[in-house]
Amino acid sequence: MEKFYNIWKHAFWHGDGDDFHYKITLGSQKFTLFLNSITTTHFRPLTVVLHGPAGVGKTALAKKWMLDWTQHNLPKALQSAFYLSCRDLSCQGSCTFEELIAKKWPHVQEAGPEILSQAQRFLFVVDGFDELRVPSGSLVHDICGDWKKQKPAATLLGSLLKRKLFPKATLLVTTRQGALGELRLLVEQPLFIEVEGLSEQDRRDYFLRHFGQEDPALRALEAMESNPVLSRMCAAPAVCWVVCKCLQVQMEKGDDPAPTCHTATSLFLRFLCGQFAPGPGGFPGPRPRATLSAVCLLAVQGAWEQTSVFDREDLGRLGVTEADLQPFLDRSILQEDADCEGHYAFVHLSVQQFLSALFYVLASDAQGDGDRPPRDVGDAQRLLSKEERLRNPTLTQVGHFLFGLANEKRAQELEATFGCRVSARVRGELLRSVSAGSQPFSSVARVKEAVSRLYESQEESLVKEAVAQVEVVSLRLQNQTDVLHASFCLQHCENLQKVSLQVDKGVFLENDCMSESDTWAERSKHDHYALCLWTDLCSVFSSNKNLSSLDVQQSYLSHSSVRILCEQITRVTCHLRKVVIKNVSPMDAYWDFCLAFIGKKTLTQLSLEGSFHGDKMLVLLLCEALKHRRCSLQYLRLGSCSDITQQWDDFSLALEINQTLQFLDLTDNEILDEGVKVLCTMLRHPKCFLQRLSLENCHLTEACCKELSSALIVNQRLTHLCLAKNDLGDRGLKLLCEGLSYPECQLRTLVLWQCNITKHGCKHISKLLQEDSSLTHLDLGLNPIATGLWFLCEALRKPSCNLKWLGLRGCSIASFCCWDLASALASNQHLEALDLGQNTLGQSGLTVLLEGLKRSRRPLKTLRLKIDRSSVEIQKVLKEVGDSNPRLTIECEDTVMTRSSCCDFPF
């Protein structure tokens, strides 16, 4: 039993007693519930995987279960728990499984065959699967079930995990998340348990235990918790120890601990410098600097090789002596493995990552321009590349620390302690990594990474240089940390023009009724901090004179956060011209936004989309904004606002007063035919200044077309009308064409995408186009017109046809129609763009069409076709067309169904 207690005791690092760790181990609720469900009378083959970040207690939990397992009333002659370290297995040569476990449990060989019959009583702990360093595929190569057969250690482990060896035994595997994918392929029906480490209460207890007095402990705890990143890192007891040691030194000198906790880099640097603080008389001698370089080399080699344990062979290969490590061993930054003499590990992975970043600072300062890092260690450019970080996630935090070390004040602190300086070359690599590619801040994922790195630096000159050319930023705020990082960086984006925001649920808890697990005090504390950060972020809308566009979509806000944003919008120093608010909660947030827009002179484009059903107040507030004498709104989109028709009198009155609105987009509103009749009354009003109107997908039928036709005759300002995705049919189209045929009608663009128009409707269109109509842009996409193309071709041949753009995408046009189309294009005098995408014209049809275009000198500039790229003949004709008619651009599309861009309503 003493052997197992020693294994349990060695699971902890220097500085804390067993009672605290015992409490922490039992505090893992998920694992405790699982342990309670295991009984000594019911055994079944079971594989349990404990996974979680480095240092959160996976090994401690596994060894605690190992200790508990051996305390059951099992035969005295058999010890039934076996511990296998993957880091040791990586160095193990070929052997039998019997020999492998007999090294520490010699009684196994003495027990003989009897041990195999007791397999259901066995527990095998496979610790640190992520630390296994074996050739790819070796875990599944040549696996066997004979425990007396000699095999490579990796094969033996794979045989155990695949249950070829001791199939009835219980397996407990620990690993970090990065190796879970590979582990899933080896184990059968595993039970995954996430180890989360220290809870908030555990961290509080730890700080109280370390400081001994409540006041300094709580002061240090508050400083640590002010940084969400650092707070999450403190789920690992070793990081708690680093934080406490660092802040204790700061507070003993009378310094405020809060600035030290602003970033992880500042804390780890203060910790390191605090451990090697120079004595009276100034700078340290060369020895501390040399030992730092040696340890940093060891750390970075391990980071690139994805290992955190080093033996004497590793030291010799790198030219590092055990004497070099002694100052760090004395300060518990490095530790010698209690189970394996001559093996060393850093107190926590984050300490190794910090020292790895420091290697690049020291190396760039000490080496010449032509020198390179040691073998297997990439340079700073590789370290910061996306490809390397995907292959080796450990390098991500190393990169963050490297940004943190670019801070000038931290460089001075490093120089004062160790006599080494940060090289300017590192700064150049950091800038290149942030600004690589075109528009690096337009991708949400890239922005998240960039702002996180730049925040870590806390170096304003570096941030300003990195974001100097940034004009567009897309942010997804998933937690308070994202808000903190974004607010810091946006303050320095002087040329910023557009911000897109998505705020996830949980950033603000004020209106989150699902967070019942939090007390009112906890939610209030959470929101107070979140709102302070949000205020800093929103201040950019009133402080940046170039910022003109705001897009907030799919966001869970709160009453307070909306009001903070709206307060910034109302300021005279806010120059927003375009605002999009889409699918934002709470619903009454739209009221606050509309109040903020009343009298906002700079605002010219506004889009409000969401579920507004029954929200009459929104329409009333919007009408007030439209009627205000300072209103400059030119574009208005209202999505899913069915109440607009019920309050049409108010809206019509607002539009009569407002003489700036030119484009009204009511797409996806359930307006119905009755609503259109009311709308047409407004269109006939002499003070209606609308030029563009979209009624896409508004549940309209042919019954409204007569009213629309009448309004088009009276209203001579309306030039663009979209009726897409409404079941107008051929008879509805006929009624529209009657109005369009009047010379008073000035409509130039008509979108009839997916309106159930057939070849019969094409007759009416053809007649209209031959009568010198004002129509220049027509979209008939996704209508089954088929042979109705013949009527359109008849119109295209006429000199009176003024069409410049024609959309026939997905209209079931067959190959035999291409003869008429080629003939029409040869004589047409105005058409500049033709969309025939998603029509199967066949090789014969395409050939006829393209051959005609080779000789054409007509104005056609753009042609979109569905083309089989594998056809050699078609490719040949395409080249010939390009050579003979260089003005013509032929777009060869794939099978994706998209709206024709030429008839969308750009503003």
Backbone angles phi, psi at 196, to 5 degrees: -95, -10
Helix (H, G, I), strand (E, B) or coil at 458: coil
Tell me the pLDDT tens digit for each residue of 82-135: 889 888 888 888 999 888 888 777 766 666 566 666 777 788 999 999 888 888
Backbone angles phi, psi at 475, to 5 degrees: -115, 135
Report the C-alpha gap between 314 and 334 in whole angstroms. 15
Query: Contact 45/54 with Cβ under 8 angstroms?
Result: no
Min mean pLDDT across 144-153, 314-323, 437-446, 622-631 is at: 437-446
Omega before 586 cis (within 30°)? yes
Tell me the pLDDT tens digit for each residue of 395-412: 999 999 999 999 999 989
- 816: which 2 tokens? 């035999």
Q: Give one DSSP letter per residue of 528-570, joined into a string.
A: HHHHHHHHHHHTHHHH-TT--EEEEEEEE--HHHHHHHHHHHT
Return the amino acid letter for 190: P
Query: Contact 127/178 with Cβ under 8 angstroms?
Result: no
Query: Contact 405/361 with Cβ under 8 angstroms?
Result: yes
Q: What pLDDT does residue 699 have?
A: 94
Q: Is the pLDDT of residue 14 over 90?
A: no
Q: What pLDDT does residue 77 have?
A: 38
- Model pTM greater than 0.95? no
Tell me the pLDDT tens digit for each residue of 278-326: 655 554 545 577 889 899 999 999 999 888 888 888 899 889 998 999 9
Please indicate whether residue 437 or residue 690 has the higher confidence score (pLDDT).
690
Name which of 90, 87, 89 is nearest 100 in CA terms.
Answer: 89
How does residue 698 score in pLDDT terms, banded at 50, 70 and 90? very high
Where helices occur in 702-808 by DSSP H, the ranges are 705-714, 729-740, 759-769, 789-796
Tell me the pLDDT tens digit for each residue of 734-743: 999 999 999 9
Tell me the pLDDT tens digit for each residue of 372-392: 567 679 999 999 998 998 888
The beta-strand segments (E) located in 777-896 are 777-779, 805-807, 833-835, 862-866, 889-893
How does residue 73 score in pLDDT terms, banded at 50, 70 and 90? very low
Name which of 477, 484, 450 is nearest 466 in CA terms.
Answer: 450
Residues 6+ apart with CB under 8 A from 521: none
Q: What pLDDT does residue 791 have?
A: 97
- Residues 228-253 as b or e (16 or more Cβ within 10 Å = b): bbbbebbbbbbbbbbbbbbbbbbbee
Report the C-alpha gap between 216 and 253 in whole angstroms. 13
* Element of type H or E holding 502: strand 498-503
Name which of 12, 271, 389, 304 is nearest 133 in CA terms.
Answer: 304
- Residues 22-57 as b or e (16 or more Cβ within 10 Å = b): eebbebbeebeebbeeeeeeeeeebbbbbbbbbbbb
Report the C-alpha gap between 873 and 813 in whole angstroms. 21
DSSP state of 95: B
DSSP state of 642: G
Distances (CA, A) of 769 to 122, 144, 775: 87, 81, 7
Q: Is the pLDDT of residue 459 over 60?
A: yes
Report the C-alpha gap between 765 and 398 in whole angstroms. 66
Q: What pLDDT does residue 769 have?
A: 96
Q: What pLDDT does residue 62 have?
A: 87
Name which of 393, 397, 399 is nearest 379 in CA terms.
Answer: 399
Q: What pLDDT does residue 510 have?
A: 79
Arithmetic mean of pLDDT, 54-68: 85
Angle at 162 between CA 161 and CA 167, to 5 degrees: 85
